[in-house]
Amino acid sequence: MRHFLTNSLHKPILAAGIGAALMLTLPFGAHAQTQLSIGTTSQASSLYAYFVAVSQLLNSELDDVNHSVLETGGGLDNQRRLREDQVDWAMMAEPDLFEYYKGLGPFEGNPQPNLRTFWVTTPLAYFAVVDADSDVTSYSDLNGKEFNGGGRGSGTERATFEAMGALGVEPNWYRTGMSDAVTAFQDRRIVGFTKAGPPNSPDSAIMNAETSRDIRILGWSDEEIDQVQAKYPHFDFMAVEDTPYDTGPMNLRVVFITIGTTSDLPEDIAYDIFKTVAENVDTVAESYSAIKGINIIEQTLERGQTPLHRGVVRYILEQGYNVPDHLMPEEFEER
């Protein structure tokens, strides 16, 4: 077992010393708290507020656990931090977590079999934004066009490369940061860009782009979805009646914000954390409204692709739900 008596960024020998010192200084009859670190994202992201709210909830409700929130580079950085025992659970996305777990796509040959799903929250859509006055009305029309696939090195960019590759579409990729991509679009140097954002509320970068040029959002045809899923069956799509950009009905490619952890997290701790989060959604929604009304158990069972942590399974079964085979971790023992 790793570092569950002190902050996870300390080295093991130092952690042991701090843990021992903590025990020595505790009042008679008291006991050490479990110190856990959460890998999140940039403080500029609204998702950071979600993890701060969850941390505050857990610290107020669970006497034996204390969480600290770490600003990170997002999902890929968090995957590395989990692998290197720098955080105890972290923000990712599904199906990205599944790719890390299985060793697929850019992680080919390097699976992380101890990764586990903690819970699944809200969706994000990959919006392909193009100039409304251009002749680009479908993904195939992007062949040879100057197009930004997402912030350079981001999960959005990787997801765009993979989906376009499955379609056999090869834009002239304009690789840069998201802010520079929006500026390039406004200056008419590129025809468009991909931006991840909520499917039901406007994204600030897309709204900024729209101040200079009318935009069109590209939807996915059923044939295109079939083509992509033939190569990447774990990619997720969602039909919507409209988007924040008044597109009307369309299919969107989506990912679901997923909290990942590892099988190393003790079962009882994972059980208590998941129970507290699942039973206090509306409390967290006071700080992050997108989560309001979501049934965390049903969302996790419906949208999760990577096996659940055994502590999560125990709580879900106690609530009368069935856990599908693909979400059942091999280490779970039926009580």
pLDDT tens track for 116-129: 999 999 988 999 99
Q: pTM for the whole thing?
A: 0.76
Residue 29 located in a structural domain: yes
Q: Do 17 and 73 lie in a common domain?
A: yes
Tell whether 149 is covered by a domain.
yes
Please tell me the predicted confidence (pLDDT) of residue 151. 83
Q: What is the mean pLDDT of the chain?
A: 88
Residues 116 and 262 in one domain: yes
Confidence of residue 93 (pLDDT cuts 50, 70, 90): confident
- Say whether pLDDT at 63 is over 70: yes
Q: What is the pLDDT of residue 121?
A: 94
CA distance 138 to 118: 36
**Structural domain contains residue 202:** yes
The domain in which residue 71 lies consists of 12-122+258-327
Q: Are residues 243 and 290 in the same domain?
A: no
Question: Any idea of the CA torsion for 69, 71, 73, 76, to the nearest 10 degrees?
Answer: -10
Q: What is the pLDDT of residue 5?
A: 39
Both 59 and 74 in one domain: the answer is: yes
Q: Residue 309 corresponds to which tokens in the numbers above? A: 């942590």
112 plus 94 within the same structural domain: yes
Q: What residues have CB less than 8 Å from 166, skipping those under 6 apart?
A: 227, 228, 230, 231, 232
pLDDT score, position 335: 57
185 and 303 together in one domain: no
Name the more confident of 139 and 150.
139
Q: How many domains does the chain have?
A: 2
Per residue in 172-210, pLDDT (tens digit) is 999 998 889 999 999 999 999 999 888 888 888 899 999
Q: Are residues 195 and 239 in the same domain?
A: yes
What is the average pLDDT across 301-321? 97
Of 204, 231, 254, which residue is a domain's last?
254
Going by C-alpha positions, the residue among 305, 314, 263, 310 that lies closest to residue 113 is: 263
Asked whether residue 37 carries a pLDDT value surpassing 90, the answer given is yes
Is the predicted pLDDT of residue 47 greater than 70, yes or no? yes
Q: What is the mean pLDDT of residues 79-102?
A: 92
Same domain, 19 and 59: yes
CATH number, domain at 320?
A: 3.40.190.10
Answer yes or no: is 200 within a domain: yes
Which of 254, 286, 311 lies at the terminal end of a domain, its last residue? 254
Confidence band, pLDDT 50/70/90 cuts, at residue 41: confident
> Span 37-56, mean pLDDT?
88
Same domain, 276 and 242: no
Distance in angstroms (rounded) separating the CA atoms of residues 335 and 332: 9
Quick check: 3 pLDDT over 60? Answer: no
